[in-house]
């Protein structure tokens, strides 16, 4: 494998990670499943591409505008759907994702079914830019989770009724989690558009939303580290299996099913990787070796 090929997969991993991080907050920490995040990615992709192509807006501001556009739409969606319980919210998001794709399919301003081409790629979604954006995104997400607001979201996931009784505004925190996750997905869509140089509505089907949700579950609900590890593994795996041609997606699906059966809590199981834990493990190993020698 050449470095260009590997760096391309790493860029795609970083783009997927942005959406997965947002979904991790919504699903892993707040307990709401969504199958419509491809719709937020589409909104971010088309908005960011339009900003750079038609209004000559620089790349980073265009990404932020795309993310904010997705977040604004999520606020309207949340107002209408967040009072739905259980699977009904999930079904509503699924409908939103498909509706967004069909609307874009018929909007000639955005190219209709042909999509948009000629999106600037030079100096936009580079590996360095993607890594820096991911680092900022992880830092922001960790800060949210460790704050009082993050703890309130976890309380809602664990027991919504009890959280409401102790005074937590359940609706407000659900709406906040949805808005932040949509912001992340919108930015991811903008990065994808400027990496490929073209976008089409068919790129944002329900399969894309399902893939992102599977990664969150695969990595471990309630684990940011799990989201990172799961995204990298499940983005690289189909490419590693590419030599198997038609069988690669079968093997990919079988691998995911095997992990979910043998480890239903996901790879990380709600735990986090930290430098403190790693250094402590190394110290303990050194101590054991010295004890064995003595």
**Which residues are paired to 284 by β-bridges?**
none
Contacts of 12 (CB under 8 A, 6+ apart): 195, 235
Region 210-228: mean pLDDT is: 89
The CA-based angle 27-29-33, given to 5 degrees, is 15
pLDDT in tens, 60-102: 999 999 999 999 999 999 999 998 876 789 899 999 999 999 9
Q: Which pLDDT score is estimated for 7? A: 93
Number of C-beta neighbours around residue 283 at 10 A: 10
Per-residue burial over 7-43, b = 16 or more CB atoms within 10 Å of its CB, e = otherwise: eebbbbbbbbbbbbbbbbbbbbbbbbbbbbbbbbbbb
**Which residues are paired to 238 by β-bridges?**
none
DSSP summary character for residue 271: -
Q: How far is CA 200 from CA 20, 45, 85, 114, 266, in A?
A: 21, 10, 33, 6, 32
Query: What are the structure tokens assigned to 16, written together?
Result: 């997927």
Region 228-242: mean pLDDT is: 84
- Among residues of the chain, what percentage have pLDDT more than 90? 65
Q: Identify the weakest region by mean pLDDT among 122-136, 144-158, 280-294.
A: 280-294
Number of C-beta neighbours around residue 118 at 10 A: 9
- Among residues of the chain, what percentage have pLDDT more than 70? 90
Region 242-252: mean pLDDT is: 68
pLDDT in tens, 31-69: 998 999 999 999 999 999 999 999 999 999 999 999 999
Q: Which pLDDT score is estimated for 267? A: 81
* Residue 153 CA from chain centroid, whole number: 18
């Amino acid at each position: 494998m050449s470095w260009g090929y590997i760096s391309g997969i790493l860029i795609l991993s970083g783009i997927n990670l942005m959406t997965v991080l947002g979904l991790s907050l919504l699903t892993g920490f707040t307990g709401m499943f969504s199958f419509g995040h491809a719709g937020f990615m589409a909104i971010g992709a088309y908005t960011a591409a339009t900003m750079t192509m038609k209004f000559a807006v620089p790349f980073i501001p265009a990404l932020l505008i795309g993310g904010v556009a997705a977040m604004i739409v999520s606020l309207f969606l949340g107002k209408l759907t967040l009072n739905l319980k259980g699977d009904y919210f999930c079904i509503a998001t699924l409908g939103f994702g498909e509706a967004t794709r069909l609307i874009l399919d018929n909007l000639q301003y955005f190219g209709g079914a042909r999509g948009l081409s000629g999106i600037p790629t030079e100096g936009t979604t580079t590996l360095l830019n993607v890594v820096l954006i991911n680092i900022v995104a992880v830092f922001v997400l960790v800060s949210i989770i460790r704050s009082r607001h993050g703890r309130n979201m976890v309380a809602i996931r664990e027991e919504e009724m009890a959280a409401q009784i102790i005074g937590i505004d359940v609706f407000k925190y659900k709406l906040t989690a949805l808005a932040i996750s949509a912001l992340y997905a919108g930015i991811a869509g903008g990065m994808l558009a400027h990496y490929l140089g073209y976008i089409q509505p068919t790129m944002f089907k329900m399969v894309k939303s399902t893939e992102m949700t599977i990664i969150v579950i695969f990595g471990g609900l309630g684990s940011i580290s799990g989201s990172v590890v799961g995204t990298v593994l499940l983005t690289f795996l189909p490419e590693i299996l590419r030599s198997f041609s038609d069988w690669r997606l079968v093997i990919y699906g079988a691998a995911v099913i095997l992990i979910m059966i043998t480890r239903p809590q996901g790879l990380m199981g709600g735990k986090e990787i930290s430098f403190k834990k790693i250094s402590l493990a190394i110290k303990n190993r050194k101590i054991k070796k010295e004890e064995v020698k003595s």
